[in-house]
Structure 1
Amino acid sequence: MGQTPETSSRRLPTIPPLDPYRVSLIEQEGLSVRQLDPLGVEIYGADVRTRLPEPLIEALEAEMANRGFIVFKHQTDLSADELVTASKWWGAREIHSTHGIHPATPGRNRHIFRCSNDQRHGILGVGPQWHNDGSFEAATFSHSAYYMARAPEQGGGTHFAHQGAAFDALPKQKQAFWQRLVSVNSASSVTHPVVHTHPVSGRKSVWLHLGMTGAVLERLPEDGLSIDELQKAPATADQFRLLNEDDMKALFNDYNDLMNDSFSQGYGIRYHYDTGDLLFIDNWALAHRASPEAHLPAEQQGLRIMDRVTIKARQDLAPHFGLPQYINIAGPHPFNSDGVWQAGGVGFRWKDDIPMQN
């Protein structure tokens, strides 16, 4: 089959292999690694109750930025404090907690968000659509920890998609368009670029929350200015337009398709947990969603208990074009075009027949 102009303008998505020097640092500590296909890394032989040496922590943080996530295998029976302490190895080395506390949370630890498929053991129905944790914050969480305290007998994992490789997979025309977009969170009014440059890997990476976005702004193109020049140049209100309902539906469906296509195009993975897995993601590099099986009742799937911890970022995920970090979505918009401007906890409903709880 011949290529269309759109498909021929795409770059093949790429995820770098493990760096040999960083592998040597890991192995010097008596640990072993397994590179997953096409992304992610499993680490064997560690005990996260003991802090790793700083050079190794830095190496693993770089691998998360490049390959999306790492998994410390066989970390059974971690206490709440042990989980929180290990989570402080990354990002700004502080926990950033914004959630409620389920009664079954160990020690009622305020930094642990306990999820389950049985309401007696945790919060139900979390994360069914592609998202990044903490998108309602200016300094969106740099990393998240997912500790599988109890894996269900019949599976129930997490889907991950690499957002740098996803950008590479976009046609050039959409790359240019998406780089001119800024989202506005429907709950907090915070703004984020739809394409940002990852602070560690340096890769252009897509970013859009499918469950809490109330508006998207487009910076209109200008003759003679490259996208990099546009992003750095402050603009007036009349140089933006609000995406209308049809534009929003097209964008959200394109983004959802891009994430779904990750499995067939080599930048996504369906990860299945074992009890005791401690998985850390780079939340600026990786979108995720719970697998459909994760939400099946415990009577059907087996009991699933996962503890999440979120880590403070070193910097804000700031918008381009001189836009402020917050634009009050509960008030009138300051732009000269009509379009979607919707406040509320769920945001713009781009599809009516899917659950939203992120």
Structure 2
Amino acid sequence: MEGLKRACKGFFCTPLGVIITGVDLKKDISDDLIDQFKRDVHKHRLLIFKNQGTVSGQRHVEISQWFGQFESTFYKHPKSPHPDVFRVSNIREEGCTNVGRTGWHIDGSFMKKPFAYSIYHMVSIPKVGNTDFVPLKELIEGLSEETRARWERLWMLPDRRDKILHPLIYSHPVTKQPTLCFHLGMTEAFIWDYGTDQQRITEHKETMKLLQEIHDEIVKDNRRLIYSHKWEEGDFIISDNLAVGHEATPETQYPREEVGVRILHRTTIQGAHEPQKAESM
């Protein structure tokens, strides 16, 4: 963190992540500073760069490549500025709509190796429409002993792609801290005690109850863990996708007449690890 503080004019901690000013991502960035970003994104989980103006699709891609190979899985909207940039909006003609509104999640939970990083740039700022983030380590460590023991027994079955099965709680492949592989809107079922004689798949009603339980744990105690990011012009966020859950707030889909036009560009970086229980890491 000290290296990043020295390199940037402004460096301010938020409840989750850090706000960075004095760095223009549109210009050439030294290898040393890029290496610092790659280390600190795991330490802080969100690197929030302010006052970036409009970052082109090509430059967004170049910045993303600091962190690995692309994993592009989503529909290419006609107005996307680059084949690897996912463009979302509250207006169908401007981008894909209702993205991030199906529940708390990490990106790519339905993949064998979920995305390692998600990289966001707000191109058109609405009057309202935040993105909420929750730190997964603190969420897990704040569970009651009984609840954590139950969650440790759960494996999630995504509703896409055959033969994909992930432990709900596992160890982050870089930090080794506890984290979650989850999507509250894209889970078909859970399996209790996978690989044991007690293995059992949940019925729909039980699945919904478990998804609601996870949601309730995230938002309980007046949402004390949640960092709600109010987007401003020029914001650019690099996220350790495996360490933070997120959800777009309802206002992100309000009509143009109420909030204006919202356009967000996002890239996702290929994961290098399958979620695994700590004892098998």
CA contact (8 A) 1:263 1:269 kept: no
The reply on whether 1:72 has 2:36 as its aligned counterpart is: no
CA distance in 1, matches of 2:137, 2:3: 25
- The within-5 A match list for 1:65-214 is 65-90=42-67, 93-106=68-81, 109-128=82-101, 129-152=103-126, 154-189=127-162, 190-214=164-188
Instruction: Mark the CA change 1:311 to 1:197 in structure 2 (over 3 Å): closer, same or farther.
Output: same
CA distance in 2, matches of 1:62, 1:316: 21
SS in structure 1 opposite 2:40?
A: helix
SS in structure 1 opposite 2:123?
A: strand
- The within-5 A match list for 1:255-294 is 255-261=214-220, 264-265=223-224, 267-294=225-252
**Unmatched tracts of structure 2, length 5 or more:** none
Q: CA deviation at 1:66?
A: 3.7
Give the structure 1 partner of residue 34 of structure 2. 57
CA root-mean-square deviation: 2.1
Q: 1:46 aligns with which of 16, 23, 33?
A: 23
CA distance in 1, matches of 2:167, 2:252: 30
Instruction: Mark the CA change 1:244 to 1:30 in structure 2 (over 3 Å): closer, same or farther.
Output: closer
Q: CA deviation at 1:157?
A: 1.5
Give the structure 2 partner of residue 309 of structure 1. 267
CA distance in 2, matches of 1:157, 1:149: 14
SS in structure 1 opposite 2:95?
A: coil
CA contact (8 A) 1:166 1:206 kept: no
The reply on whether 1:240 has 2:213 as its aligned counterpart is: no
SS in structure 1 opposite 2:83?
A: coil
Give the paired residue count.
Answer: 278
Q: CA deviation at 1:239?
A: 3.6
Deviations 1:85-118 (A, max 9, x none): 101222xx11111111111112xx2101111111
Deviations 1:237-292 (A, max 9, x none): x3411123443222111101122237533x21111011211111111011111111
CA distance in 1, matches of 2:256, 2:72: 27
Q: CA deviation at 1:26?
A: 1.6
The reply on whether 1:32 has 2:7 as its aligned counterpart is: no
Instruction: Mark the CA change 1:81 to 1:102 in structure 2 (over 3 Å): closer, same or farther.
Output: same
Q: Which letter maps to 2:54?
A: D
Q: Which letter maps to 1:202?
A: K
Instruction: Mark the CA change 1:308 to 1:262 in structure 2 (over 3 Å): closer, same or farther.
Output: farther
Q: CA deviation at 1:54?
A: 4.1
Give the structure 2 partner of residue 297 of structure 1. 255
Give the structure 2 partner of residue 254 of structure 1. 213
- The within-5 A match list for 1:338-353 is none
Task: Give TM-score scaled by structure 1 length.
Answer: 0.73
Larger Rg: 1
Q: CA deviation at 1:317?
A: 2.4
Structure with the bigger percentage of strand: 2
Q: Which letter maps to 2:187?
A: T
| Percentage of matched positions with identical amino acids | 29
Task: Give TM-score scaled by structure 2 length.
Answer: 0.91
Q: CA deviation at 1:183?
A: 0.8
CA distance in 1, matches of 2:279, 2:7: 45
CA contact (8 A) 2:87 2:263 kept: yes
CA distance in 1, matches of 2:73, 2:159: 16
**Unmatched tracts of structure 1, length 5 or more:** 1-21, 221-234, 323-358
Instruction: Mark the CA change 1:263 to 1:110 in structure 2 (over 3 Å): closer, same or farther.
Output: farther
Q: Which letter maps to 1:116?
A: S
CA distance in 1, matches of 2:106, 2:155: 16
CA distance in 2, matches of 1:301, 1:148: 15
CA distance in 2, matches of 1:151, 1:43: 19
Q: Which letter maps to 1:248?
A: T
Q: Which letter maps to 1:61?
A: K
CA distance in 2, matches of 1:31, 1:186: 45
Q: CA deviation at 1:52?
A: 3.5
CA contact (8 A) 1:191 1:318 kept: no
